[in-house]
Amino acid sequence: MAKISKLFILIISELIFLAFLFLILPSVFIRERPGINQTSYNETLSLDTKNSFSKEFISDQDNLQSISVLLKNPALANKSQVKIELQDQNKNTLKFLETSGHSINDPGWVNFKFPYINSKKGDKFFIKISTDNQQSDKLFIYGDLKNKNINFKTTFTTKNINESFEKNLNQQIKNFQSRNIFQSVIYLFLLLLINIFIFI
Amino acid sequence: MSKINKKIIIFAVLIRLLIMPFFYHPDIKSQLFHMQYLSHGILNIYDFVDKNKSDLPYTNIYVYLPFTYYFFGSIDFILSPLYSSDLYQWLNDWGETQNNYPNMIFFMLVLKIPYLIFDLLIGLILYKIYKTKKVLYFWLFNPISIYLIYILGNFDVIPAFLTLLSFHFIKNKKQFWSYFTIGLAIALKMYPIMFLPFLFFYDKKNILKNIKYAIFSLVPLILSIIPFLKQKSFYDSFLGSGLTQKILEYKITGLPIFPILFFFILIIYCFSKSKYKFEIAILQIFLLFIGLVNFHPQWIMWFFPFMIILFVNSKIKNKLFFIIFFLFIFLYIFLINDNSLTWGHLIPIDPNFANLRSPYQIIKLKTSIDPVLIQKNIHDLLLFFGIIGIFYYGKNK
């Protein structure tokens, strides 16, 4: 009987450890999670006074926290100003960031983080990129040459711990389901077997 | 020798199995990235990387020795039946999606199996050397070696095991095996060459025998590098690792301090009559190394197995010294401007940990204090404590 209760305590301790790792830590510390994004375009499109870009997206979560675009400043030589705007569905500017070529890599994501917007899943936004760079082919944005679509990333935040816990739980369930089921079973079975072995 | 409780060993394995899958450091990936090419039939990794650099998904050069490539390339081949189907996809993905692999926990579990074996073997050798369960159990349950082996996930545990085994052989007057074993360790990673003079002078009565066999400590290294000696890409790769530069970095009036004090420790060691003179000398080198060198955390592993007996047998105030010293070391590591040494370890649990700010970034953004300055002060404190420790143990020796 004493052995069974010790085994029980051991298994509970392990479960607490795993719950701490998978449920508590991410829920408490990861409040900002990636949302809708487009990262597959490899073409470079000239970004200059004649070529500005606008990208529409529908948010897939609540509370928009940041947007990022992939720019290229060859040899870090261009010092022009670049303006990144977040616009609502009526193209009114909600947030804007003005940055110079100094902070653009060759290439690199330019992250524009702001105090989160009280937006809802399904809201429509626009990202507008413009510059005062007058020379063509000196500053670039990654996108698709044909339809002028651009690469972009978004992040969304959670307002409270309950929401964060729920999002994390969904994420962990999704991860568990996409893991190799055979290896998951073997691993858990191995742990159980070792636990039992310790107490026989 | 008191009998080992097998269940305690199994409990130690259980703890390791609960840690191994869930912690990650990019070194485990970058090392395996190059080693995978042995299975593709690539025998000259230096030449291969040099010629294909622009086409490879990971562009850093291979910075290890040839034997390391063959050794871990073979381990990769042996472990490959246990790999998840997407392991090689992950290994060759250095882009945006590199952390988005739910099977990463199984990659970590399988890739750390060799570390688990060598970790347990270190415990076994410690038990054989000191013939006390206390040392073995301390090795199995101390959080520092678990951190160094399974969280940092670097292969330094293997040369560390070989160095300890070499010490075991020299203690048992098996000179050939001692030098050959440390030779294998040197062929894997150059650092055990620091331990060589201490092995050589361990038993002064057998100095002639030592002279006869010492050459074997360099045989594995020489044999493995001969085919590459005329190759520029080999020198470019090998000289990029930076340990020698780091050791010579700290200078006073132009003189590098570490080699000079290393020499003094060696001289005192030669005249020491202490039962634990080897372990004390290695501890002194460790204290000096930590204080003077901008060390990588995994380098602590080189010295750690030798310090166990001194810690276990020491009085409370000495134990307290060790604990405080290691707390400062961890504080130093914590402030390194590298997220992979803090939140980044948790990527297998959630890839978004990679985007969290490291303590370095938080201090820099939220306060007016320069984290580099805090880190430098901690390093100075480590040097101060280190010097006290060197004299204290020098006196005891």
Q: Which helix (H) or strand (E) segment is A33 a member of?
A: strand A32-38
Measured between CB atoms, which of A17, A25, A197 is closest to B10? A197
State the residue for tokens 């636990």. A195
Top-level CATH class of A32-157?
mainly beta
pLDDT tens-digit map of B79-116: 999 999 999 999 999 988 899 999 999 999 999 999 99
Structure tokens at A91: 């193209």
Please tell me the total count of domains within chain B: 1
Say yes or no to pLDDT of A1 above 70.
no
Residue A119: φ, ψ to 5° = -95, 165
The C-alpha atoms of residue A141 and residue A129 are separated, in whole angstroms, by: 9
* Position B319 in a domain: yes
Instruction: Give the mean model confidence (pLDDT) for residues B271-294.
Output: 93
Per-residue pLDDT band at B230 (split at 50, 70, 90): confident
List CB contacts (< 8 A) between A21 and chain B.
Answer: 22, 346, 349
Instruction: Give the mean model confidence (pLDDT) for residues B206-218.
Output: 89
In this predicted structure, what is the pLDDT of residue B171? 94
State the nearest Cα–Cα gap between A2 and chain B, in angstroms. Answer: 17
Say yes or no to pLDDT of B397 above 70.
no
ipTM over 0.85: yes
Q: Which residues of A102-136 are buried (b: 16+ CB within 10 A; e: fewer)?
A: eebeebebbebeeebbebeeeeebbbbbbbebeee
Number of H helices and E strands in chain A, helices first, is 4, 10
In this predicted structure, what is the pLDDT of residue B394? 79
Domain positions in chain A are 2-30+176-199, 32-157
Q: Which of A179, A195, A176, A8 is nearest to B17 (CA)?
A: A195
* Position B236 in a domain: no
* Position B265 in a domain: yes
pLDDT tens-digit map of A17-50: 999 999 999 999 999 999 999 988 989 999 999 9
In this predicted structure, what is the pLDDT of residue B239? 67
The C-alpha atoms of residue B342 and residue B354 are separated, in whole angstroms, by: 9
The C-alpha atoms of residue B131 and residue B168 are separated, in whole angstroms, by: 12
List CB contacts (< 8 A) between A187 and chain B.
Answer: 17, 21, 106, 109
* Position B274 in a domain: yes
Do A198 and B10 make contact, defined as CB atoms within 8 angstroms?
yes
Per-residue pLDDT band at B249 (split at 50, 70, 90): confident
Candidate from A112-116, A144-148, B289-293 with smallest mean pLDDT? A144-148
Instruction: Give the mean model confidence (pLDDT) for residues A51-68.
Output: 94
**Domain with B254 in it:** 241-397
Per-residue pLDDT band at A59 (split at 50, 70, 90): very high
What is the pTM assigned to this prediction? 0.91
Percent above pLDDT 70 for chain B? 97
Instruction: Give the mean model confidence (pLDDT) for residues A45-62.
Output: 93
Please answer whether residues A117 and A63 qualify as being in contact, where contact means their C-beta atoms are separated by less than 8 angstroms.
yes
Indicate if the alpha-carbon torsion angle B220, B222, B223, B227 is positive or negative. Answer: positive
Interface of A with B in 16-75 (CB under 8 A): 17-18, 21-22, 25-26, 29-30, 32-34, 39
* Position B300 in a domain: yes
Per-residue pLDDT band at A148 (split at 50, 70, 90): confident
CA–CA distances in Å: residue A98 to residues A69, A111, A132, B68, B209: 13, 12, 11, 49, 73
Give SS3 for B265. helix
Per-residue pLDDT band at B1 (split at 50, 70, 90): low
Q: Which of B15, B298, B311, B329 is nearest to B160 (CA)?
A: B298
Per-residue pLDDT band at B13 (split at 50, 70, 90): very high
* Position B135 in a domain: no
DSSP category for residue B239: T
What lies within 8 Å, CB to CB, of B353 at 6+ separation is A26, A29, A30, B343, B344, B345, B346, B347
State the nearest Cα–Cα gap between A36 and chain B, in angstroms. Answer: 14
* Position B283 in a domain: yes
